[in-house]
Each structure stands twice: as structure tokens, then as C-alpha cells.
Amino acid sequence: MTSDLLQRHGGPVPRYTSYPTANHFSAAVTPAHLRTWLADLPDDPALSLYAHIPYCRELCFYCGCSTKASRRYAPVEEYLVPLQAEISHVSALVPPGHRVTHIHWGGGSPDILTPADILRLGHTFRSQFAVASGAEIAVEIDPRLLSEAQADAFAEIGVNRVSIGVQDFDPKVQAAIGRIQSFETTRKASEIFRTRGVRSLNVDLVYGLPHQTVESVGRTLSDVIAIEPDRIAVFGYAHLPERLKHQRLIDEKTLPGLAERFSQSQHIAERLQDAGYVQIGIDHFARSTDALAGGAVARNFQGYTTDTADALLAFGASAISRLPQGFVQNAVAVDDYTRRISTEGLAVVRGHEMAGDDALRAYLIERLMCAFFVSWRDLKQRFGAEVARVRFEAEAAARRDADGLVAVNDEGVRVTDRGRPFVRSVCAWFDPYLSRDMTRRRHALSV
């Protein structure tokens, strides 16, 4: 991989966990849109539910999530009141024949909740929605907060997949990002859940952090592999201090350069595949026995997933729902979210209504991100004559593609082996919403 190639295609672009991306949402979408879109769902939709817990005990310097630090539990407890009210309000708007196939708790740190509140929120979901037998119920946890009583509560509400935040075990890196977390604490958390029958354990890692090197991420990988997680997600750090003020606590001079970031990501991929993991898309790895390695793969705000539900309904401050008609996002500030729930039952402040060829481009981008290939036949069966314009764009892009990132022929669009590290940049070719100055301000490097 030459430095020129990295410079040409390794710049900032969206992660494409949605299309259009959230920075293109507008206030033109209102609570009325959500009510109408819910009413227009089929009589028996498959639903995915997401609960956002926007609190952590302390804020890590690298974090890009919508969360806040709270040493007191009172604000967390108070937040659960509007959250449960929103769940109840939305449940009354969905078709009675629905079935919930996935539930995901994210944050923040959902294990900031007390065992009693974990039970209460879990029972709220089950009392308000028809949760299918065998539904995947996942939770993100900070192992530094976890107690056995909390794990008991998660097990009681049916949690069967747990995502453990690690990022990096190197002490120097941990000090630079404000997250001190030992291997033993992490190993203990994994064992706590395994003894309670959790069938899938995930670990999250980040490369491109301050002071990281290929050697240091290699040491972290050795520790992670020893825990034997079923899935490992590996994200490139997005340094956006203009938008995320706490990232200004990171000394930019200690961040690895583009070539070093790329070397770290490639080393991680090679090590994990040598350890028996199957690479899924650009940044997820799964054991061959895990559902993610053997079935249909989709992409949403949680990354790569087996979740192919008709709609994703998200609850809580800043949460984003995806329906066939478009996206809606709740108020970001907890106070604003609480006020809107208490007065309207919904907290939608912006979103995007799919129009024109949005649905086609969203599907094309998701397939490239998941499978590195999309066929013209598949696109035409789904979208008809709309495909002609996108095919024209793809063929024109291929003629300009001097670096051989894609192959376009009568079969479809395929990202080449050379192009796979830059698939996000390839997807950006098909994103008319994207502008160069917006890219610089809001997105992570593509490698």
C-alpha cells in the first residue's frame, strides 16, 4: 500500500451506518411523520428496538457517543421516567401483529443502571411489545462498572449478547484517553456473563489512538484473543475536537499518522483471521460458529449486524429510528428530550424522509459496505428503471478509477481487494449529499 494511495483515498468520509448520514437530517421531519410512518407499517412487521442510556460514570477523552458523565445516580434515575413513557407511547402506535426480533441497549454505559432499574426497563419492553421467542437482546457494558447483581438482572430480562468496551490495554494509551481498565477487570466481566449463559460475547477495540503502534495493538490483541470473544469490532478513532470538546484533552502530536493507522488496522485484521475469526465487512470479526459469520449481514447504527427487521425504533435522548419511509432523531439534550416526552409523548426534532432515489442508494451503499458487491439484477428487481442513472454513475466512476478500487461490468459493482480498505470512500462516490467541507468537519478517516 503506497503512501500516495493512502493520501488519495484515506481521507475523512462517513462510516455509512445510514444513508443519508445523520448530519444531513433536517427539522422538516417532525413527530407527525413518525406517527404516520408507524401507522403505515405492515400489519405484522418485524421490529428492532434500541434504548439509549446517555450516562457514564466518567467521560473518556476519545468518545464520540452522545453521553455525559454523572457521579450521582439521581439524574440517571430521573431519565428513566421519560424513557419508559416514550416506550409506552410508541408501543401504542405500532401494529398489534408486530414481533420484536432484536433489542439493543447502548450508551453511554447501560450498566450504570442499578439492578432494579435494569429489571424495570427490561420488563417495560416486554410488557409493551411482543418480543419474539429467541429474540437477540444485547447490551453494551463498561466492565469497570459491572457487578454480579447487575449481571443477574441482565440475565433475568433475557440478555443473550454482551458487548464489552476495551479499546486498548496499553497503560500509556489508557492514560492518554482517560480510560484506565485492566485486563483482569475485563476478563472477570466476560466470565460473569458466560456463567449466566450469555451465548455471544463481543469486544470493542479502537485503533489510531494516541501512542498506539502496531506492536502495542498486537499486545492488546493477544489479551483479547485470550478472552475468546465471539465477535470483535475494530473501529478507527475519529479525532473531531472542533465538534467534541473533550477530545481537546488528547495531544494531537501523539496520534499515529495515516500510514501507521493503516498498518495497525491491517495488522489487527491479519492477527484475528490467523486466530480463526472471519472478517465481516471492514471492521467486524466473528467466529465461524457465530451468527454474524454464517447468515445475512446488514449494517445499522450499531455497525454490522444480523438485524434485518422492517424497522428500528429507538428510544431516549439523541436516539435515531429507521423506518422504510425515513429516519427520525430525538432531541439530544436530556432536558429537552424530557420536556418533549412530557408534553407530546414523542421527542422527534429532526430526520430525513426518503425521496427520489434515496432508497436505491441506501441499499447500494449498504451492500457495498457488507458484501463489497451489488448486482444490477438485484437492484433492478428492487428499484426498476431508477437503476439506469446509478449504473451510468458507476461506469463513469470506474473510468476515472486509475487506482483500480472497483470493477464495474454487466454483472454489477464489485470493490476489488485493493479497494476494500477504502470501501467507505467508494461509497461516497454514490452519495450526492456529501460535500467536501462537511466531510472535513464531521467524519473519521476512511482507514
3-state SS, residue 201: strand
Report whether 62 belongs to an annotated binding site.
yes
| Alpha helices (H) in 61-170, listed in sequence order | 74-91, 115-128, 148-156
Report whether 238 belongs to an annotated binding site.
yes
Report whether 60 belongs to an annotated binding site.
yes
Q: DSSP strand E in 142-199: where?
A: 161-167
Report whether 270 belongs to an annotated binding site.
no
CB 426, CB 441: distance < 8 Å:
no
Q: DSSP strand E in 298-438: where?
A: 298-300, 303-305, 311-315, 320-323, 326-330, 348-353, 373-375, 406-408, 412-415
Report whether 277 belongs to an annotated binding site.
no
Rounded CA separation 432/357 (Å): 11
Report whether 177 belongs to an annotated binding site.
no
Report whether 304 belongs to an annotated binding site.
no
Report whether 107 belongs to an annotated binding site.
yes
Report whether 140 belongs to an annotated binding site.
yes
Report whether 363 belongs to an annotated binding site.
no
- 349: cell is 426534532
List the one residue out of 306, 304, 337 whose CA is nearest residue 320: 337
* DSSP per-residue letters across 246-286: GGGGS-GGGS--HHHHHHHHHHHHHHHHHTTEEEETTTEEE
Rounded CA separation 321/311 (Å): 8
Centroid of chain to Cα 184: 26
Report whether 433 belongs to an annotated binding site.
no
Report whether 427 belongs to an annotated binding site.
no
- Mark the binding-site residues for S-adenosyl-L-methionine, compressed into ranges: 50, 62-64, 107, 140, 167, 179, 204, 238, 320
Annotated binding site for [4Fe-4S] cluster: 56, 60, 63
Q: Output the known binding site.
A: 50, 56, 60, 62-64, 107, 140, 167, 179, 204, 238, 320
